[in-house]
Amino acid sequence: MPETLTVRIFPTEQEAEMAVTRRAENVPVDADLLDEARALNVDLSRAAEMGIARAVRAEQAARKFAEEYPDVVRSNNEYVAKHGLPLEKYRLF
């Protein structure tokens, strides 16, 4: 079972001035990854926040693209359904 990490994010002075609201959240994290991050003195709160922000931006961009170009998404999905992934034989997973 993954170790539970309590993310406590404390704002920098600049962020405090911007009145950024933060809250703690419990998130399960791979124990080995967590140990390695701690050994490297990684700021876990900042790393978690940056990762979440990156995931949110990527999801927003993907949804925007799908909304703006539904024909492209549909065409691509049809191609993959009919022919498979173009470089599938080179996949390592």
pLDDT tens profile 5-20: 666 555 566 666 566 7
Neighbouring C-beta atoms of residue 35, cutoff 10 Å: 12
Task: Locate all alpha helices (DSSP H) within the chain, ordered by sequence.
Answer: 13-17, 31-39, 44-68, 70-83
Q: In angstroms, rounded to a whole number, what is the distance separating the alpha carbons of residues 87 and 48?
A: 33
Alpha-carbon span 28 to 6, nearest angstrom? 9
pLDDT tops 90 at residue 78: yes
Q: Structure pTM?
A: 0.65
What is d(CA 17, CA 70) in angstroms, rounded to the nearest whole number? Answer: 41
Burial class of residue 9 in the structure, from the number of CB atoms within 10 Å of its CB (0-12 exposed, 13-18 middle, 19+ buried): middle
Residue 22 has what pLDDT? 83
Confidence of residue 91 (pLDDT cuts 50, 70, 90): confident
